[in-house]
Structure formats: C-alpha cells, structure tokens
Amino acid sequence: MVAPVTRPGSTSRTTVRRIPENAVNDREALHQILDSGLVGHVAVVADGQPFVLPVAYARRGSDIVFHGSTGSRLFRALAEGQPTCFTVTLLDGLVVARSAFHSSMHYRSVMALGVARRLEGDDELDALHVITEHLLPGRWSECRPPSTKELAGTMTLALDLNEASVKVGAGDPEDDEADISTPPYSRIWAGVVPLAESFGTPVRSGDCPEDVPIPDYVAGWAR
Ligand SMILES: Cc1cc2nc3c(=O)[nH]c(=O)nc-3n(C[C@H](O)[C@H](O)[C@H](O)COP(=O)(O)OP(=O)(O)OC[C@H]3O[C@@H](n4cnc5c(N)ncnc54)[C@H](O)[C@@H]3O)c2cc1C
C-alpha cells in the first residue's frame, strides 16, 4: 500500500526543531529544491558503520530515483530494505557576521526518510531516462540507450517523499546587539556573499571529431 503523501516536516521525525523558522512546509518548495540539485547524499549502514554516498538523482513525481552498481554492497543493503536518509543541499551564499559564531550559510536543503524500493523492467528504464534528462537535458534521445548487460549491472532505486523535510537558511547575519552597536565590531563589514553554480564552456573529448558540432541542447545548458 502506498502511504499518503504528507506535507514536508509534518511527522514527528521530520519536524524541524532547531531554528524552526527555517522550516518550509510546502511540497512545491520540496520539489523545486530537488529539481534544482544534481547531487544527493544517501545514508547506509554496513557492519555497524554508517556511510554516506554522494549520488546523482532525479525527482520522478513523488519519488527520488537514483542508481548504482548491482555489485555495491551498500546499494544491495538499500535494496534489501534498510531504512535510509537522503539529503540534497543547495548552497546559495556565505553569511559574514560580525562574530564567527553567527557566521553561517544561505542554503536550501531537503531530507527524506524511508525505505527505498528497487525498480525493475520498464519502470527502471523510465527512471534511468528521468535521471539522465535531469542531469543532461536533451541527451537521452541522442545517446545510445543502456544495453541489456549494462542494465544487468545497474540497480535503480526509488525513495518516496512521504516523510521529508525542507529547511531554508536566508536573510542577513543575526548578530548580537552589542556587536552591531559597539566598536570595534560595529565597524567591520557584515553581509552575505552569494554563491551560485554555473557551467563552464564545454570541452570537446579528445576522441570526438572536430566536425561534430556541440548540440544546441548542450550549448544551452545554464545554471
Ligand atoms: C549547507 C548547510 C550547512 C550547515 N552547517 C551547519 C553547521 O555547521 N552546524 C550545525 O549545527 N548545523 C548546520 N546546518 C544545519 C543542520 O543541517 C541541522 O539543521 C542542524 O544541525 C540541526 O540539527 P538537529 O538534528 O538538531 O535538528 P532538528 O531540528 O532536531 O531535526 C529534526 C528534523 O528536522 C529536519 N531537518 C533538520 N535539519 C535539516 C536540514 N538541514 N534540511 C532539511 N531538514 C532538516 C529533519 O527531518 C530532522 O529529522 C547546516 C545546514 C546546511 C544546509
């Protein structure tokens, strides 16, 4: 049975307690952050040791989908039903406060809890399509599709977003009143330095003939 879709932060495990004013409780924000990120981190425990794996991912409806090798013991543990935690973090700026203590970051982050399920057959192929198009928009219809052997070596997992939270850090530094009003610290600069991801100029592969043009969909990628 599929659990009902809940609002972010609405279960006891996902209620943001530390700086609760940074919690965002709407699904739209959850989806926007996931759709903006390229890399997530998925947690898995093996032999009592926690590991956090950086992975490419995409949102497919109310699921996060991601893939790994069938040879990975960590992915196998997830496929066998180990509970996990998946996070996505977008870093938007550095907050330069008058004190080291209050210096922080602008961010948008998502945490999803649950048990991943393994995707098979056409469902898996569709998820791989969605991941590829999320990372490399326009590429799927031009590149070679996965072979049977490649699919056999790939494990594709989905984690639903039924238990998730969203936290957004924004705004000016929140300095102590004394630091704002009293020299010397009232006389040092404070503010926010925005940080943004961007693509560089595409670099042709050494084995790609010079007369093969860069596709418009690649030239048009922007962040
Ligand atoms: C880029 C970045 C840098 C950060 N740097 C620091 C740091 O240096 N030190 C520090 O203490 N904290 C930092 N944080 C905040 C940190 O992620 C936690 O929110 C914070 O430590 C509070 O943890 P807690 O377990 O006490 O939160 P609680 O509020 O008790 O957590 C309860 C629930 O709230 C949700 N939640 C908590 N944090 C997040 C989150 N970030 N995103 C989405 N859901 C969340 C989860 O569902 C969690 O189970 C940073 C966050 C980001 C995104």
Confidence band of 1 (pLDDT split at 50, 70, 90):
very low
Instruction: Classify strands 104-115 and 49-60 as parallel, antiparallel or unpaired.
Output: unpaired
Give the per-residue pLDDT at 3.
54
Distance, CA 180 to ligand 1 centroid (Å)? 26
Q: Are 162 and 5 in contact (CB under 8 A)?
A: yes
Report the residue among 22, 107, 165, 197 best suited for mutation to probe ligand 1: largest number of ligand atoms under 8 A from its CB.
165
Name the residue among 140, 155, 146 with its Cα closest to residue 55. 155
pLDDT for 6 equals 85
Pocket test of ligand 1: the residue of 36, 90, 105, 109 to mutate, having most ligand atoms within 8 Å of its CB, is: 109
- Give CA–CA dist 36/31, Å, rounded: 9
Rounded Cα distance, 83 and 13, in Å? 13
Q: Which fold has domain 20-195?
A: Pnp Oxidase; Chain A (2.30.110)
Counting residues of the chain whose pLDDT is more than 70, the rounded percentage is 98
130-153 per-position pLDDT tens digit:
999 999 999 999 999 999 999 999
Residue 145 has what pLDDT? 96
Every domain of the chain and the residues it spans: 20-195
- Per-residue pLDDT, averaged over 3-26, amounts to 91
Give how far Cα 65 sits from Cα of 22, 183, 216, Å. 26, 52, 27
| Ligand 1 pocket, residue 30 CB under 6 Å | no
Instruction: Tell me the pLDDT tens digit for each residue of 170-190.
Output: 999 999 999 999 999 999 999
Which atom in ligand 1 lies closest to the alpha carbon of residue 164?
A: 47
Q: How far is the CA of 30 from the centre of ligand 1 (A)?
A: 15
Mean pLDDT of 77-100: 98
Is the sign of the CA dihedral 66, 71, 74, 79 positive or negative?
Answer: positive
Residue whose tokens read 């031009």: 142
- Going by C-beta distance under 8 Å and a sequence separation of 6 or more, which residues neighbour residue 166? 8, 9, 23, 24, 25, 26, 29, 30, 33, 108, 109, 110
